[in-house]
A and B are shown apart, each in its own frame.
Chain A
């Protein structure tokens, strides 16, 4: 019996684990991100696909390189760098030169993620922080090609791109003057903007995949979008009807991409149920305020980044009430 003695593994309980680990969760997120990406290829040709691939490859490579140089355990196997890569590409216009995602990946992975300690330790969402950083090239980052304008795959000159302002910019000139896409077109995808923003429909499908696979709960996306919906419905601007203004706001400017895939990032959102709700409402309020009063028509990126910073403080004020001290507890003599 002594021979087989040492073959058994001894650990603390529990001895069974749920099927989902970080890797499988990240793969599910990648799966949910496929559909919105395909829509961008439908509208702009293969160029966005190359941007996505460059971004993912750079993110994974930078993380691998960092672990190698710092003699740390290799962490690319959890696929979180790949998710950051896709998300980074999704918040870039499809016409960006290919060095933009590389610079973005460098900032997202090295500065925002790895220098803070790797997965789980970053304060802000790496992809969004990289987007904010890339705003240092404002022309590149705010040039949006028209949908169905096939982009060439090589070096793009500004003159080659048939540009079109985004819906949020057009919105400011009112319902009559502007050439607005119909709401249905916007829902299905014919709204120009960043790579991942094109199709509200496919972003919603992504939302359902994440909720059904229990990667996220519905709270953050619903409260985020809900807050934006309520305020834009009550306070329409530029002469729009309440409903139109609300719907154009919901379907444009990366709100759904941000609410479903960015604001729900585990690491940078609060950990408690009630904290998530406060955080999502905060994201919604900031988004609307920036859209109403800011010089930038878009507000999602800054709103989420600001709430990211507040997340751990929200955790502190939303600790679950201790068991046996809430309503219905027994008062023991």
Chain B
């Protein structure tokens, strides 16, 4: 602005604009403080020397690392075990679900067959039932198969529902030009080959998006795990385990340990999410545009 000869009107405009920016800066700073405040509190508390919620000061005055040790030493709260469980379940169901989602959405988007419309409608209707509505029944089924309160039950449940999450990926596949398929078909490729050799390499963003969402879902799921595992503490995932740490019985002893556990589990996920946010946004809005 300085290099202009600054007629008065222009200067007034610039000043106004500066003022506007200043206000926005203030608003944003205040909001960021509010937004980060609970997280800061959590992180600081995890280094607190006392075990319970402080009744006098808001932020801790003395710091220690001992809660991070307790996490892996306490046999009542096998945190290490929980992390392994969560990781195991999340990774396996992520792989299976991603495959399923890609398979279903490719089929519904690219191949034309008689019952396609019917399947699309059925998928829509089935998707409206919340998964845990029929949780009791799912539990009964798992019981019959002898899988109740086992980690495999969780993997099966998460991946079984995956086939319904085809909308976003289907929207993506719809945007890949059909002429590619046709050209490959003329060259003698089968549908199978087209799927693996042509479509999949082109769909990297949507694969990453699907993998990310199907990984985060089981990672933070509470309902199914708590219902299926009941008192099997060894098979808890981190969410249920951490919740147990701060129930009325345990909170006085485990509060700061809970904070440590929460920080530990949140850090990798936060980093993952921040790195992947482009894909996430692209997935949500990209799928939305196609409806």
A and B co-occur in one complex: no
